Amino acid sequence: MINEMSSNEKIRKFCFTQKIKIVMKIGLKKEDKALIDKRVLLTPLQCKEIKIKCPKISLFVQRSTMRCYRDEEYEECGIELVDSVEDCDIIFGINEALIEELFPKKTFFFFSKILKKQTCNLELLRTLLAKNIRMIDYECLTNNLGFRLIGFGRFAGIVGAYNTLYAYGKRMKSFDLKRAYLCKDRTEMENELSKVKLPNDFKLVMTGDGRVAMGALEILNQISSLKRVNVTQFLNETFDEPVFVQLTCEDYNKRKDNQKFTLKEFFNDPTPFESTFMLYACKADVYISSHFWHSKSPYIFTRNDAKSKDFKIKVIGDISCDINGPIASTLRPSTIDEPLYGYNPQTESEVNFDDENSITVMAVDNLPCELPRDSSEDFGREFINKILPHLLNGDTENILERGTICKNGTLNGYFHNLNEFVYKDVTMIRL
């Protein structure tokens, strides 16, 4: 049985409770495209919370044997199970829906995987347009300043940092952590961290200061023997204890003309800048990437950099996982089942992860899937607090509008760059 909501949950006040303008039927679809993904938008308790606070919402959950929460757990919270969510006004998923499950003139929320013009989902986008579907992408739900309101980035960082420590233990044969996806939950995973044994001269460098990085820090800060130091200390001092440093853009990029670095200039146009990451690569044993990288930005380190005899890093946890991008050793994504591979800098080729001449790479690209219950709970809380009020109260801040890829058979103006992608050499047929 699921425990009753805590007192804090019962007394939580929602800004939308008394202001609902419309009655709607909401459906949580099953995930049937990526069977390894057991995440959900809302946990059973969160569904119950919405049902209590928003009586004008009718909430339905499509039956599934795959998700991390069993059907019975939703039933125990008073949520109605259905075989199909076709009758619902708004349909929520995590991954993109199957083509045959795209019901005309409905509103869908999911991660579309079309923003980078992925050809694998071209048919999906054309179908959304042909069926007059409003499709809202979680990735595009931002505030007025352009900052994302919802995402799985925090748990990508949490699992990514844990997996990087797992990779180091395997590479050095010094400790063995239980895989995150085999743990019941985050608590069990974090209990494994007591096994981490780091040498006194160990150094770790991490790039990034956003959601992903904050998640990674939650794990690193739990290693009692691992001390955080600043950039100057990391580059210039020696230690008799394991240390790590967190780098922001300014710490590992500089202007080519040696003029003063300004973050605004870097974001507006990164082409006049170059990486200084080799300063850290010559000191660190492990590197965790948890940054956002733009295609016009400098590579963090190149294949030639990795060939240098001074390049010291032996284990890289590439949470960002940009293929053929800023981190030369990331040749491909790795998988939850096989999270590690090796990169030989001299041959620029993949080898065994524990090859003595290799850099061990952890580049799992669906990290939150390893802790589906915890990451779902975190995502659902953000949805309830930051997105649902706008869905119910008229979207006066245009948050949903900015996240709408298409509606009424046309692309939203925010995504005009997809026009050539979707319409090239194609005659659209209304279904």
Q: What is the pLDDT of residues 98-124, one digit of tens each?
A: 999 999 999 999 999 888 788 888 999
| 105 and 212 part of one domain | no
Q: What is the pLDDT of residues 33-77, one digit of tens each?
A: 766 789 999 999 999 999 999 988 999 999 999 999 999 999 999
Task: Tell me, yes or no, whether 281 and 387 share the same domain.
Answer: no
pLDDT band of residue 6 (cuts 50, 70, 90) is very low
Query: Does 186 fall in a domain?
Result: yes
Residues 158 and 229 in one domain: yes
Residue 336 structural domain: 153-370
Mean pLDDT of the chain: 91
Q: What is the pLDDT of residues 190-221, one digit of tens each?
A: 999 999 999 999 999 999 999 999 999 999 99
Question: Contact, 336 vs 34, CB < 8 A?
Answer: no
Report the CATH number that the domain containing residue 366 is assigned in CATH: 3.40.50.720
For 198, counting Cβ atoms within 10 Å of its Cβ (0-12 exposed, 13-18 middle, 19+ buried), the class is buried
Q: Is the pLDDT of residue 148 over 80?
A: yes
Assess contact for 171 and 354: CB atoms under 8 A. yes
pLDDT at 11 over 50: no
Note whether 363 and 383 are same-domain residues. Answer: no
Q: How many domains does the chain have?
A: 2
Task: Please check whether residues 140 and 193 belong to one and the same domain.
Answer: no
Give pLDDT, residue 393.
85
Question: Within this chain, do residues 194 and 289 fall inside the same structural domain, yes or no?
Answer: yes
Kindly report the number of other CB atoms within 10 A of residue 140's CB atom.
21
pLDDT digits (tens, 9 = 90+) for 306-361: 999 999 999 999 999 888 889 999 999 999 999 999 999 999 999 999 999 999 99
Calculated CA dihedral for residues 294, 297, 300, 305, nearest 10 degrees: 130
Q: Indicate whether 168 and 221 sit together in one domain.
A: yes
Determine, yes or no, domain membership for 290.
yes
pLDDT tens digit sequence for 235-276: 999 999 999 999 999 999 999 999 999 988 998 899 999 999
Q: Is 344 within the bounds of a domain? A: yes
